[in-house]
Amino acid sequence: MIATIVSSTALVSLLFLMQTTWLRNGLLLGVVPDLGLLVILWVSFRNEKSVGSFTGFFSGLVCDLFSAAPVGYFAFLYVLPAYALSVLNRFVSLDTIWIPFLAGFFSTLLKAIGSIVLSGIFGPSVLSSYFLDDVHLWVEAGLNAVLAPLVFFLLNMTGSFFVAKRTPSERIGSHRK
């Protein structure tokens, strides 16, 4: 589990680096897709227990390092969708296109709502946030939705590298249930 969290966080960090440098001028209307978020979503979907939430938390801390945001801001924003997807994976099976598409879209909105809540708590002069009437938010949601199936497809090809192995006791427990 720890190895999965570390390797997933490392991959997300690498994607954050790409976002800040190679993709810094954005893909559409100056908006950068959140590739790190898509990896966190996939990890949350494919792993049981809290691997996704931990990956979201540590990746968020890394993102805080790269960003002008105060520490803890992105940690909070990335745990939210990771938590949601960890719960959702009990009910929904991962398909090729539609689930990644919807996950990418609604997770971006969840992140936006989280940022608005945080900005409301700490004050807009302290924390920036998304605006629901800002076209950039919807462009980012659209980009994340469109890119999610591709990112999920590529991650599926990595096999079990980013999936935690279940311990024997967990396997026995699942058979009993």
**Which one, 64 or 162, has the nearer CB to other proteins?**
64
CA atoms within 13 A on the CB side of 49: 15
| Residue 132 touching other proteins (CB under 8 A) | no
- Burial bucket for residue 109 (CB in 10 Å: 0-12, 13-18, 19+): middle
Is residue 174 a contact partner of residue 14, using CB atoms and an 8 Å limit?
no
Mark residues 42-81: x for contact with other proteins by CB under 8 A, - for none: ------xxx--xx-xx--x--xxxxxxxxxxxxxx--xx-
Minimum distance of other proteins from residue 158's CB (angstroms): 22
Locate 142 and state its tokens.
């659209």
- Burial bucket for residue 167 (CB in 10 Å: 0-12, 13-18, 19+): exposed
Which residue among 5, 11, 43, 99 contacts other proteins (CB under 8 A)?
99
**Which one, 53 or 107, has the nearer CB to other proteins?**
53
**Eight-class DSSP state of 126:** T
Distance (Å, rounded) from C-alpha 134 to C-alpha 138?
A: 7
- Give the binding site for other proteins (CB under 8 A): 16-22, 24-25, 29-32, 34, 36, 48-50, 53-54, 56-57, 60, 63-76, 79-80, 82-83, 86-87, 89-93, 95, 98-99, 115, 118, 122, 124-131, 134, 136-137, 140, 170, 173-174, 177
